[in-house]
Chains A and B, each alone.
Chain A
Amino acid sequence: MQTRRDFLRSGGALIVSFSAASAQGPFDTHDSHIDPKKLDSWLAVGADGTITAHTGKCDFGQGIFTAQTQLVAEELCVPLSRVKLIQCDTAVTPDQGTTSGSQSTPANFNSQGLALAAATAREALLGLAAQKLGGSVDQLTAADGVIADAAGRRVTYAELVGGRHFNLPLDASAKRRSREQWTVLGKPVPSLDRVALMTGRFEFVQSVRVPRMLHGRVVRPPGMGATVASVDKGSVRDIPGVRVVVRKDFVGVVAETQYQAGLAARQLAVRWSPGPELPAQRSFFEHLQRQPSRDTLSVDSGDVERALGAAAGVLRAQYRYPYQMHGSVGTSCAVADVRAGRATVWSATQSVYPTRSIVAKLLGLPLQNVRVIYVRGSGCYGLNGADAVSFDAAVLSQAVGRPVRLQFSRQDEMMWENLGAACVVEHRAAVGADGQITVWDRADWVASLGNRPGYDRPGNVISGMLAGYEPEPLKPGPAKAPAGKLQNQSNAVPCYFAGCIDGNCGGGGMIRSERVLTHTVRSPFFTGPLRSPLRIQNAFANECFMDELCAQAKADPVAFRLQHLHDPRIIGVVQAAAKAAAWETRAAAPAVRKTGVVRGRGIACVDYEGGNGYAALVAEVTVNLETGVVRPVRFVAAVDCGPISNPDGLRNQTEGGILQGMSRALVEEVTWDNRRITSADWETYNSLHLDYEMPTIETVLVTPEGVPANGAGETAITVTPAAIGNAIFDATGVRLRELPFTPERVMAAIRENRA
């Protein structure tokens, strides 16, 4: 282990450390030349005192750029303006896998990664200052990049290490500054990108232009599974300078201008052999339940059949969730420059290192010859087309030997993205004479094909599949008995379950006769993470069914939830939301009237991913009994994600999440015919536009002491459809078990209820 004295003897002007030996990345099996255990991989102090920080977690509008800049400024006691954050570039930043799943805050804001690096650096600087000034570290104070002792003697960071390496390992015992000391972190700092965004100067990946760049377009198959029979390259001969690129079933064109590339893509004559017919949308959920499946048991107390058999009355229900889209406003785009055996890709991928591996594989280049540089794109909400377009751009650039910019058409984007999964959930449960749930059995069927490509699965997205790679295979098989710690990443297990595995109870609730069985089924369309993946689907089914049980017990929905919970953090958000919403204690009270507009309230809660953040949401809606139109009028959210890095950013994420969840609950649904997705633009795939009359939103931030920082971008959206569904029930007495809550569905349910 290196001491601070060794550090003093070392020198050198290099800021970025490229160690000769390649280190194992912390997240997967691949090479990265940037060793995350070394301080110099994360931080450097420039000769002018500027702090340059490297992070593997990138910003796509969720505010993590600003929050990470705050973090570094806080730990190093410098103003925000002194920190230069470099995000996600395989040439300079450590490999932190993928920015997703609400994992950036846990990874970089507790006691590892960037936070640990910054704390290590501060302690190292203090140690150096103590040596230089004489005296001990506890007599020193650091502020504004200057360390001073009690006598007023001073030394700057730049004087101590400016322009040189620290040559230190990350110090696992380095202390973070405590929450009480924070002056920058935890404050509502305005996001740093605002001025550039609002004045039209911000560089999106869609704005990247490089010298001698050409423009590409892809020509996708007419439907899922179609393969190329022949391509008539002569069909675009009249468009000057067009090149046609075909690689197995991948077809693309490259031209001098975007306009010509678009013309050529439309004009190119390709004969396709059609793939198999798609299952009919009408009966898709039944179809899903009949397919071979890979089964997983999250929890199984072994006594549910007996308990259900013994119960006085069993409540059953089936919930259905459609495929939904990321539907980024800007179609996905990348610029690739593949020449002389080297590739550089400017990409909005959430995973620069995995993308580097896939590009290397597709192009047949050694890993170290590929560089992927993150440039922010349009908000992605998960795996949109950013990875696919990066692969396609690289293939086109390699074929023509010049840099190629590729942006998808709206149809390329919407027909071929990795959709949010469709699923079916079936519940059976019983409530005892004392009003407690005695048993709850739950099974779900989830459609799945492909996913994030990771480091070695190009076929998990359309580009790789067209180039001849298979998606990750889904091997049907029965479930094994649950073992180890309760796994609840997808929130399949309702938070009211005790979650006991071999006597170890990891759930937040009281229900002990419990079973959760998941059937994963091959999907006819690509699927992948879409903001709150499977969590929003499961929370919808679980929280609405909890409401059904509550109605059967004639109980108040808040009280009923609380009496089945013991986790203080879920209890905390439920109570906080109820209080802020001035929740009136009563059982659901549907209107008796048959016409006009009725009003109701509903609540839903979640322990996101089984403990990565908590949210409860109260929704108030009106329902027009003659038209079936549902209008949310007010949301009150309580969110607990531990210590908050930026309250303003958190509120922004929570508000946006709730409204996105509302759009998904009310209007969003992928449609298809026997060959292809038919919801391929904004006329056919619905999203609430800016003219929609928005409900009011209040957000309460709950911050218990002594808990780690959790993710926050996905908690509130997770419970939004359920809260709306429960409010519709309170207003009308009608239980809607399929999303979206379109007027047609609402009217059909109202009519059925009357009959």
Chain B
Amino acid sequence: MQQITLRVNGRQHAVKVDPETPLLFVLNDDLGLRGPRFGCGMAQCGACTVILRGQVVRSCVMPVRAVGDDEVTTLEGLGTPEKPHPIQQAFIEEGAAQCGYCLSGVILTAKAVLDGKPDASDEEIRIALGGVLCRCFAHTRMLRAIRKYASGNRQHANPA
């Protein structure tokens, strides 16, 4: 057991855990976050995705000791129910999910790609989503939502 400090979604947290614990378990069990979720524990599905240093990371295979001082962003760190992030807003408008279990991988991966390259082509976005699995096959709507966000349709970012 070891005291570890983490910056998650703009807040500092101190947790006492085994430093080998996967980041995912710390986010779920110690910080009570619901966005990243366990799917495979083997970096094969994307359900546990978070953003770290501008990159998507599979938190199920990253030991918490490797996080360091950098900010971790989870799906709930993007926006709130009252004020969703524009990409979340696009997903809300398109109804781009069925069960929604896979959404951290889908939304955060798309966001990271588009943050890095705002004019990424459909093809580039698709390829970036290669490690993300959605077994409800809500693909069509998800890609439509991502396209909507990408095409700069951000006027709904700040309702009211």
- List A residues at the B interface (Cβ < 8 Å): 60-63, 190-191, 193-204, 206-207, 209, 215, 257-260, 262, 327-331, 376-379, 381, 407, 409-410, 648, 652-653, 655-660, 662-663, 681-683, 687-694, 697
Contact = CB atoms under 8 A, between A and B. Distances in A.
Given A193-B100, A330-B101, A694-B140, A202 B34 contact: yes
A199 B76 contact: yes
Contacts of A407: 38
A261 B5 CA distance: 23
B34 A690 contact: no
Given A209-B29, A652-B138, A410 B100 contact: no
B106 interface: yes
Contacts of B100: 61, 193, 197-198, 202
A259 B4 CA distance: 16
A285 B133 CA distance: 30
B20 A259 contact: yes
A689 B133 contact: yes
Contacts of B34: 200-204, 207
A199 B75 CA distance: 6
Contact of A690 (B29, B81, B133): B133
A198 B97 contact: yes
A605 B38 CA distance: 38
A259 B98 contact: no
Contacts of B126: 690-691, 693
B62 interface: no
B88 to A, nearest CB: 4
Given A200-B104, A207-B28, A195 B95 contact: no
Contacts of B131: 689
A329 B32 contact: no
B133 A409 contact: no
A379 B77 CA distance: 24
Interface string B116-138: 00000000001111111111111
A348 to B, nearest CB: 10
A653 B81 CA distance: 25
B58 interface: no
Contacts of B104: 200
Determine chain A's interface SS by DSSP, over half rule: loop
B98 A62 contact: yes
A329 B97 contact: no
B95 A690 contact: no
A201 B35 CA distance: 7
B88 A663 contact: no
B99 interface: yes
B72 interface: no
A201 B37 CA distance: 12
A329 B102 contact: yes
B103 A659 contact: no
A203 B28 CA distance: 12
A652 B98 contact: yes
B136 A379 contact: yes
Contact of A659 (B74, B96, B97, B140): B140
Nearest to A259: B21
26 contacts: A61-B99, A191-B95, A198-B91, A198-B96, A200-B77, A200-B78, A204-B37, A206-B37, A259-B17, A329-B39, A329-B101, A330-B39, A377-B99, A377-B101, A378-B39, A378-B99, A378-B101, A410-B40, A410-B42, A652-B141, A659-B139, A660-B137, A682-B45, A683-B44, A687-B133, A694-B143
